[in-house]
Amino acid sequence: MGKVRRLSRTLAIAGVAAGTWFGATAAQAADTIKVGILHSLSGTMAISETTLKDAMLMLIEQQNAKGGLLGKKLEAVVVDPASNWPLFAEKARELITGDKVDVVFGCWTSVSRKSVLPVFEELNSLLFYPVQYEGEESSRNVFYTGAAPNQQAIPAVEYLMSEDGGGATRFALLGTDYVYPRTTNKILRAFLNAKGIADEDILEEYTPFGHSDWQTIVSNLKEFSSQGKKTAVVSTINGDANVPFYKELANQGIKAEDLPVVAFSVGEEELAGLDTTPLVGHLAAWNYFMSVDTPENDAFIEAWHGYIKDEKRVTNDPMEAHYIGFNMWVQAVKQAGTTNVDAVRQAMYGQQVKNLTGGVAEMHVNHHLSKPVLIGEIQDDGQFETVWETSGTVIGDAWSDFIPESAKLTADWTYPWVCGNCEKPKYLGN
């Protein structure tokens, strides 16, 4: 059997080199097509990631009800990396080499994505990453279906600075202490400086995962915002630390009209465990809200409630990202006629899927989606009312225009370009 598998792999590689996708891999010869699900089901990130596991199981069940893929059923392989960043890498390797999965959907925090990245690149497997992130990365083995900073963080701060958003001229950047908040805030500080906001008008503070004692920090926020300039808070706080943070805002009587908070990691799922009455008016920036009124969203919510058998369970932005990414992967596999990673990767470029907000998501050669940007106000029922949105979709940038060393870079993974951090050709400008 070992000789047969090695021969099959050789034929597949030869097919790639020739520009055709003939030959059968060991995975194709199996009875099922295996889909890895790499989300924390315990620990500090379980509050956000468990629902993504459930969403993936629903999508796989739906596809199997349609007859599966390439004549085979999809098989979900679920692991729990338990909010333990090194364990993410171990579980990723286990999925790829042990379980022989054909693709992986997973991770939430950027530190978990950074942990698994070398594994996916070493073993040439595909990860679909469904959460907003800091950019400043481009891998041929990752499709980033969540928002890049130009699809969330930058538009949110522009809104806060606008007349409609309150005209803020002072900003508190609060984040969990890891790569996503720190890199996002590096970009935001550069953006704010470019808009004439001095460093003395930017407060930046970080707390550990699971942080629970917010009294001092919120008191400092009140002091920072009492110095005669309209102030706003930009939150990159992740996981279950959001629950005591928002409770402390309410305890100290901070209202949105006085000190608005815009969050990038708080959606319907995180608000589900809170009394949101004191939080009405605070903001979140995403690419999807459950409250969006479209036929596509209505159908998705109905299917979700039917699958989970609980009409109180909410939907959220990363679920939509998995919905888009999964359906694009299915289309790419059908187009390629194989689950071979190199074939599927090339077939992904230009794939289009209707998003849930009434538009169309497209996968670009930089491995990012085109997405709308929505800013919503928290309502007393834990939902969001959209107060601002882009007129169309925005293409995600792998590299930020506000970081000098990044502004000159581009990502294009199509042959023969195949580069994630090349300098932009002159004909592209810059």
pLDDT in tens, 203-215: 999 999 999 999 9
CB 96 within 8 A of CB 119: yes
Torsions phi, psi for 382 (to 5 deg) = 85, 5
Reported as a pLDDT band with limits 50, 70 and 90, residue 400 is very high
DSSP H helices in 225-276? 242-251, 268-271
Mean per-residue pLDDT for 294-322?
97
DSSP structural state of residue 424: P
* Cα 336 to Cα 346: distance, rounded to the nearest angstrom: 8
Parallel, antiparallel or unpaired: strands 409-412 and 394-395: unpaired
CB 327 within 8 A of CB 355: no
| pLDDT at 417 (0 to 100) | 79
Question: Is CATH 3.40.50.2300 the classification given to domain 2-147+294-371?
Answer: yes
| pLDDT at 416 (0 to 100) | 77
Mean per-residue pLDDT for 351-363?
98
Domain 150-293+375-405 architecture: 3-Layer(aba) Sandwich (3.40)
* Cα 141 to Cα 118: distance, rounded to the nearest angstrom: 10
Locate the domains of the chain by residue range: 2-147+294-371, 150-293+375-405
Domains 2-147+294-371 and 150-293+375-405 share a fold: yes
Amino acid at 46: A
User: Cα–chain-centroid distance for residue 151?
Assistant: 11
pLDDT of residue 21 exceeding 60, the answer is no
Can you give the pTM of this predicted structure? 0.89
CA contacts within 13 A on the Cβ side of 268 = 22
* Cα 214 to Cα 248: distance, rounded to the nearest angstrom: 6
Reported as a pLDDT band with limits 50, 70 and 90, residue 426 is low
Share of the chain above pLDDT 70, in %: 92
Reported as a pLDDT band with limits 50, 70 and 90, residue 26 is very low
pLDDT in tens, 246-293: 999 999 999 999 999 999 999 999 898 788 988 999 999 999 999 999
Amino acid at 54: D
Q: What is the mean pLDDT of the chain?
A: 91
